[in-house]
Amino acid sequence: MGNDQNGCEVSQPVGDCVLSSVQVRILEGIAAGFSSGRLSRELYLSSKTIDYHVRVMSDKLQAPNRVALVSRAFVLQILRTDSWPPRIAHEAVD
Q: Which helix (H) or strand (E) holds 19?
A: strand 17-20
DSSP 8: P
This prediction's pTM:
0.76
pLDDT category of residue 80 using cuts at 50, 70 and 90: confident
Q: Over the Cα atoms of the chain, what is R_g?
A: 12
pLDDT digits (tens, 9 = 90+) for 27-48: 999 999 999 999 999 999 999 9
